[in-house]
Each structure stands twice: as structure tokens, then as C-alpha cells.
Structure 1
Amino acid sequence: MDIGRALTFFTEEERWIEKTAIGVGVILVSSLLSIVLVGLLGFFIVMGYAVRLLQNVRDGVTPVLPEWDQWGDDFVRGFKLFVVQFVWALPIILIYLPIAFISAAVGGSGGDAEAIAVLISLCATCLGIVVSVAYALIQPAITIFFAEREQIGDGFQVAEVFKWTRDNIGNVVIVTLVYVVGGFVIG
């Protein structure tokens, strides 16, 4: 895998600045509006656009960056991908949610109850980190399988998702690390 090309391929396109600026604008507005949940709509649109981008790369379409002309379709596509990713992320949510409830219920009470709550929270956090890393590693496969036909069920091909991830683990780890580091740098 050519990592340099993977990070810069979009700059080879004539209108890459315009298309990237639109995406960044949608994300910024969505971030500001996410307090009232309206902003989630923009994130779904960007997720749908990313699916089209993945399909263009897969199919060898040029220019590889899609036009921003299918907002409704991108919203539907992105919402369906969100549903798939949310279901796959449920184990993480089910690990961390009790930690929040335990902390709120016991917090500041002192004594044995607080010590036990801290121990349970620590163990659950360690488990949550392991499950989160596993989720991060299978997420590319989930998205790839969903993008094939844009059907929610395609994102739940469990055996295929794990097989694809196992067969491509080197590239998946590199992409995941680049994504995480990029998130820290940008954020």
C-alpha cells in the first residue's frame, strides 16, 4: 500500500480544494449544530459522500472525488452506514454506560462502595479499550462490505468482515494508526 498516495490522492484532482472545502464546511456546521441534533444530518451526508468516494476508488472512476450533488442520497447512504456502525459499536456502549451509572450513583460516597465502584470501573475501562481497538480494526471492512451494495445487511457479514480484516491486518493497522494520529493532529 502506498501510504503517501493514500493521503494525497485527492490533491491530484483539478477541483479538490472546492470539494474538500464543501466537506469541511458541512462538518463544521454540523459540529456547531450537533448540540440540537440537527448537526447529525450533516455528518450523515459526509458519511454517505465517503461511501461514494470509496466506491469511486474501488471502481477506478476519475475524478475520484464525487461531486457534492447527491445530498439526499448521501444522507440516506450515510444514515444506513451509521446504523451498521452503531450496531457494531453496541458492545462498547454497553461496557461504558454502566461505568457512567456506577460513577454517578456511588461518586463521592466514600468507603467500600466507592472502592468497589472504582475497581469495577477500572476493569470495565480496560475491557472497553480492548473492544474499542477491535472495533477500530474491523471498521474498514464493515464500511467496505456496506459500500458494495449499500444494504444494511451487507455490513453485518460477520465472518466476511473478520476474514477480510485478518487477511489485510497490516494495511488495516497502518490506516487505523494514520487515522488516529491524524485525529490528534487535527483535533
Structure 2
Amino acid sequence: MDQLINLISFPFRDKKWIIKLLIGGVLSIIPIINFFSFGYSYHIFKEAIEGKTAYLPEWNQWDFLFKKGFYIFILGLIYTILPSLLIMLSLSFMTLKGPFFILGFLLILISIILYIAVLFFFPTAIALFAKKENIKDALNFSFIIKSTINFCPDYFKPFLTGIGIIIVGLIIESILGSIPTLGWLIFFFLNFYISIILARLFGEFFLRKKL
């Protein structure tokens, strides 16, 4: 429990945490510009995987943040493209009747399983990218699957903790989302906060693992 409290509270130990989180939240709203916020979360992940003290980095090194954020975006796109296509295909089938509707329902179930698989294996891909500094390593699917499975059962702790944090975030967003304008803003700021918490969580885990 103490470890979890330290994890979710580390951003607030920074004297400038309000400004830093505000910048990240604002940047995350705008497409393409949000690569900076992706890069910032990656920076925290990399600092953790290198064993550095938990802290909020300064908003500088803009080239680094944008470049790494772009890579993270591309990796996320590659990993989610198959389940996303299946979702779109399934919705098309479910507008029809008979066996096509059943097929659409089955495709939704398959896509959900694939999304869960992405959530499970994607942190290992990012860890490989952080350690090797080569996007090709993050696309070595067989190695990533094998490594992640080898990390189990230890890997279940950060994974389930991360899922729990995401669920709590979704509950908060659903409660506050009905507030006009404010709810919409809370969505982006809370998502950015969750991203840096998850970055630190998995970064600390992979610090102790060899890839």
C-alpha cells in the first residue's frame, strides 16, 4: 500500500507540479501537439527504467519530447490497428441480420481480447524501445511475447495495478464528465496524470528485469 501511495503521489512532491501537469494536460488536448505529452510520459518511463529518482522533469528538450512522443504514437498505432479494424468491421456486420450479426458479435469479442493483449504486452515493447533506442526492437513481437510471459507471475502486479488505476480514472471521468466544459477538461488532465503514473509504475518494474 505504501508503494502505491508513493507512486500516485510522486508528481505532487514537485514544487511546480501544478504548472507541469497543467502544461501536459493542455498539450494532450491538441492532436499532433500531444506528441509532446506522450514524449513527457516516455521521459518519466525512461528515467524510472534507469533507476533515477521519481520526479517531474522540466518541460524542456522539446525536440526530444516530440520525437519520442511521435515514436510512441506510431507504436501505439501499430499495436492497436488490428483490433481497431476488427471493431469497425464488426460494427458494419452488426447492422445486418442473421449470421452477419452473429459474426459481428464474435469479431467484437475477438477485438476485446486483442485489446487486452495489447495492454498486456505493450509496456514490454516500450521498455525495449527505452533500453535499445531502436523502434525495430519494439516491433519484435515474438521476443516481446516470450519476455513478458517469462516475467510472470511478477508482471501481474504492475499490470493489475495499472488496470486498477485506469478503472478508477474511468470512474472519476464518468462522474465528472457530465459537468459542462469542466468535465471535458478534466478528462484530458486526468488522462495525462494517469499516463505519467503508469510510466513510472512500469519503468520501475523493468528496471529490475533484463531485456
TM-score between both structures, scaled by the size of structure 1: 0.79
Partner of 1:152: helix, strand, or coil? coil
Match of 1:83 in 2: 74
Correspondence list, 1:38-117, <5 A: 39=31, 41-62=32-53, 64-103=55-94, 107=95, 114-117=97-100
**1:67 Cα deviation from its structure 2 partner:** 1.1
Question: Runs (4+) of structure 1 moved beyond 4 Å?
Answer: none
Bigger CA drift: 158-167 or 7-16? 158-167
Residue aligning to 1:14: 15
Q: CA deviation at 1:162?
A: 2.3
Q: Quick one: structure 1 residues 161 and 173, their matched pair in 2 at CA, closer, same or farther if it must change by over 3 Å?
A: farther
Q: For structure 1, which runs of at least 5 residues remain unmatched after alignment?
A: 31-38, 108-112
Residue 164 to residue 170, structure 1, CA distance change in 2 (3 Å): farther
* Alpha-carbon separation, structure 2, partners of 1:163 and 1:15: 41
Q: Determine if contact 1:51/1:77 at 8 Å carries over to the other structure.
A: yes
Structure-2 residue corresponding to 1:130: 113
Q: Distance in 1 between matches of 2:117 and 2:54?
A: 33
Structure 2 residue runs of 5 or longer lacking an equivalent are: 174-186, 188-211
Q: Secondary structure at the match of 2:28?
A: helix
Bigger RCO of structures 1 and 2 (CA < 8 A, at least 6 apart): 2
Across the aligned residues of Structure 1 and Structure 2, the Cα RMSD in angstroms comes to 2.1
Pairwise CA distance, 1:170: 2.6
> Does structure 1 residue 25 correspond to structure 2 residue 16?
no
Q: How far does residue 82 in structure 1 lie from its aligned partner after superposition?
A: 1.4
Cα distance in 1, alignment partners of residues 18 and 147 from structure 2 = 33
Q: Quote the Cα distance in structure 2 between the aligned partners of 1:148 and 1:23.
A: 24
Per the TM alignment, residue 66 of structure 1 is displaced from its structure 2 partner at its CA by 1.4
**TM-aligned CA deviation for residue 63 of structure 1:** 6.5
Give the structure with the larger helix fraction: 1
- Identity rate of aligned residues, in percent? 21
Q: Distance in 2 between matches of 1:184 and 1:143?
A: 27
